[in-house]
Amino acid sequence: MARNRFHRSSYQRYRGGPDPLAPPVDLRSALDEIGEDIMAGASPQRAMREYLRRGTQDMRGLDKLREQINKRRKELLEKNNLDGTFTEIRELLDRAVLNERKQLARDLDDEARFAEMQIGNLPPSTAQAVQELSDYEWRSPEAKADYDKISDLLGREMLDQRFQGMKDALENATDADRQAISEMLTDLNELLAAHNRGEDTTEQFDEFMGKHGQYFPDNPQSTDELVEALAKRAAAAQAFYNSLSPEQRAELDQLAQQAFGSPELMNQLAQMDSQLRQARPDMGWGDSADFTGEQGMGMGQGAGALSDLAELEALSEQLSQQYAGAQMDDIDLDALARQLGPEASADARTLAELEKALKEQNIFHRDADGNLQLSPKAMRQLGQSIFRDVAEQLSGRKGDRATRRTGASGEPTGATREWEFGDTEPWDVTATVGNAVRRTVTEAPGGLEAAGDLAREGVRIDVRDVEVAETEARSKAAVVLLVDTSFSMEMEGRWLPMKRTAVALNHLISTRFRNDELSLIAFGRHARTIDIAELTGLQPRMEQGTNLHHALMLAGRHLRRHPNAQPVVLIVTDGEPTAHLEPDGEPFFYYPPHPATLAMTVRELDAVARLGAQVTIFRLGDDPSLERFVDQIARRIGGRVVAPDIDGLGAAVVGDYLGSRRGRRG
């Protein structure tokens, strides 16, 4: 019996760039958070910037990415030092001298004694000792091999600073290898000189890459790309030099002349550095860094670390977005991936896409005074989100649709009728499907048998089949929401819940009770009618005064403009009246409440009550004076008082409005 063979698959994180199966950017969630910040008092621009800085639970924001960039930079500096090459050279020199002394001790001739004196009197400076031994006749083959490694190491390190990977590639290099490097540098300097003169170097570049392309694994596609890559590395090599102590620089200057046993290499590299500095003077040639760690780096490693530091500093600035003209597109995603990995790059790319999508969706617009506000489209989306939260509070369980049914334009009567353009009543599914089946049978060519085949294949619903449920119309309402905007609302943490309440009620009325007329009135020391976008972005002000008198005057005007509508007045406040409007239009403020203020406020409440308004006062806080005042006026005008928790304010106001609607039948 054949044995079953199973193919084993392994799965891991996708590393080829952005995840192709990742969900699209969540604009709704982003708009919810930005809207919350705006309602809390941030400007629209600052709210968007703060969202990008903060990120989300599943996506690092700019601040987190910058924190990780700065942490990596700190680790580089605290872990490493620049002594690696010097230490390696000193070890080679000490080993060479030790082996030579052993050999000289075995030799009995007078020249050996003289050589011992020369070896024993070497200067303490590594560079000077290496230079003094340049003409020494070595007797120990092992010692000579170690000494020759010094010049070879220096040459490879010098090249590795400018051409990454050259140190390992040229280990045990032959004279032919060194000659090939020299020819490459000569041709490169000619190409750079032509580029700096502004000449067209296309053919010269192609010829150069065809001849020396093995030294450039990044495979640049033009002279500009080649210059960019080389200039970064050369500037890092200069930063390495700048970061050395004066003693180390002096040592390196002397040692460099021994590279590959000839000063020619240094001359060619110096010419190349000069050409690159001329081509890209902005590369930070004067940079330096203070490495304080214990792990020594070679010259090539040090240049690479300094190149990383320059890249990290640039990324930190890009992620800060604090400079003039900053844009998310400024962030170098490839550099971010190199330093923090592809996931960090994906997070930054998502943030940039979010910013771009939010701008393309026109979530902001300027009002008549030039102030930036949430656009109507953004307000609809924000209102829908806030109302969804309020509806969940009303229903007591997530996903309950009771508020949606309550908010329909009427109650079902049990009858149905044919759908007409503009109808918003719910479909009668049974009647609609029945119409579709009957029409299929009637219109099918070939009689009932063919109709049966069509029915088995499926029935298509045509617009002619649709029937909607008849509903009983409800009366129109004139609704006024008066919201307290005195500074105490901000001080006691009631500013944001007040705004969320207004947004939720506005969304409910504008989308589901469109016949109702809503007016929003904000009252502090003055009162004014305000639209929902302006209220959403309204900044708290250090303004004392609760001018309910003025607000009720404006409410009365709105109710009188709609004499055939049922008047509904909803008042949200956390303080008793402390201001009223004088006949000359100026506000009068006094605390504790002045008798004149209380009398004029009560008079306006009486006027609203005479219009037949259903008045509900939502009392916030536990002020005993406010509690006594609202209880008294509620009894006087037959109104209601609700004292909700601050988190339940939206549900209380919307629920009260819906309750008033249930009692209004046409």
The domain in which residue 447 lies consists of 410-473
**154 or 604: which carries more pLDDT confidence?**
604
**434 or 522: which carries more pLDDT confidence?**
522
Average pLDDT, integer, range 638-650 = 92
CB within 8 Å of 165: residues ≥ 6 apart: 217
Q: Note whether residue 272 is domain-resident.
A: yes
* pLDDT value at 503 more than 60: yes
177 in the same domain as 112:
yes
pLDDT in tens, 154-187: 888 888 888 887 777 777 777 888 888 889 999 9
326 in the same domain as 345:
yes
CB within 8 Å of 153: residues ≥ 6 apart: 85, 88, 89, 92
Q: Note whether residue 166 is domain-resident.
A: yes
**Residues 611, 616, 620, 624: is their CA dihedral positive or negative?**
positive
509 in the same domain as 466:
no
pLDDT in tens, 336-382: 999 999 999 999 998 888 888 877 777 777 777 777 778 788 888 88
43 in the same domain as 76:
yes
Cα–Cα distance, 158 to 167 (Å, whole number): 8
Which of 273, 193, 271 is CA-nearest to residue 239? 273
234 in the same domain as 263:
yes
How many other C-beta atoms are found inside a 10 Å radius of the C-beta of residue 104?
23
Phi, psi of 528 (to 5 degrees): -155, 150
Q: Are 568 and 480 in contact (CB under 8 A)?
A: yes
543 in the same domain as 414:
no
Residue holding tokens 């080829």? 16
In DSSP terms, 520 is beta-bridged to 481
Q: Note whether residue 263 is domain-resident.
A: yes
- Count structural domains, the chain: 4
- What tokens does 235 get? 């500037």
158 in the same domain as 104:
yes
Report the Cα–Cα distance between both ends of the chain, in Å, rounded. 81
Torsion angle in degrees (nearest 10) through CA of 288, 293, 295, 296: 40
**What is the model's pLDDT at position 65?**
95
Q: Are 563 and 611 in contact (CB under 8 A)?
A: no
- What tokens does 569 get? 């007045």
**588 or 470: which carries more pLDDT confidence?**
588
**What is the model's pLDDT at position 174?**
79
Q: Distance of CA 592 to CAs 576, 595, 628, Å?
A: 9, 9, 14
- DSSP calls for 51-110: HHHHEETTEE-HHHHHHHHHHHHHHHHHHEES-HHHHHHHHHHHHHHHHHHHHHHH--SH
CB within 8 Å of 560: residues ≥ 6 apart: 611
423 in the same domain as 545:
no
Cα–Cα distance, 269 to 166 (Å, whole number): 14
Phi, psi of 82 (to 5 degrees): -100, 15
Q: Note whether residue 199 is domain-resident.
A: yes
Q: Distance of CA 612 to CAs 193, 516, 565, 609, Å?
A: 91, 16, 10, 5
Q: Are 283 and 200 in contact (CB under 8 A)?
A: no
Cα–Cα distance, 531 to 120 (Å, whole number): 93
**What is the model's pLDDT at position 380?**
83
* pLDDT value at 474 more than 50: no
**What is the model's pLDDT at position 467?**
86
Q: Note whether residue 307 is domain-resident.
A: no
- Torsion region of 346: left, alpha or beta (phi above 0 gives left; psi -120 to 50 gives alpha): alpha
Q: Note whether residue 383 is domain-resident.
A: no
Q: Are 293 and 77 in contact (CB under 8 A)?
A: yes
Mean pLDDT (the chain) is 84
| Three-state secondary structure call for residue 160 | helix
**What is the model's pLDDT at position 407?**
33
Which pLDDT band holds residue 455 (cuts at 50, 70, 90)?
low
| Domain end call among 423, 450, 473 | 473
Which pLDDT band holds residue 21 (cuts at 50, 70, 90)?
very low
Long-range contacts for 251-257 (Cβ within 8 Å, ≥24 apart)? 251/86, 251/125, 251/126, 251/127, 252/127, 253/127, 254/125, 254/127, 254/128, 254/130, 254/131, 255/89, 255/126, 255/127, 255/130, 255/154, 256/154, 256/158, 257/131
Q: Note whether residue 380 is domain-resident.
A: no
Proportion of the chain above pLDDT 90, given as a percent: 43
Average pLDDT, integer, range 291-303 = 87
Look up the CATH number of the domain holding residue 562: 3.40.50.410
> In three state form, how does the secondary structure of 112-158 look?
HHHHHHHHHCCCCCHHHHHHHHHHCCCCCHHHHHHHHHHHHHHHHHH
**What is the model's pLDDT at position 516?**
93
258 in the same domain as 133:
yes
**What is the model's pLDDT at position 409?**
39
Q: How many CA atoms lie within 13 A of 106 on its CB side?
A: 7
**What is the model's pLDDT at position 354?**
85
Cα–Cα distance, 209 to 636 (Å, whole number): 94
| Domain end call among 473, 504, 528 | 473
Which pLDDT band holds residue 430 (cuts at 50, 70, 90)?
confident
Q: Are 389 and 650 in contact (CB under 8 A)?
A: yes
562 in the same domain as 505:
yes
90 in the same domain as 56:
no
pLDDT in tens, 369-420: 777 778 788 888 888 888 888 888 876 534 333 333 333 334 455 677 787 7
445 in the same domain as 587:
no
Q: Note whether residue 520 is domain-resident.
A: yes
Average pLDDT, integer, range 41-51 = 84
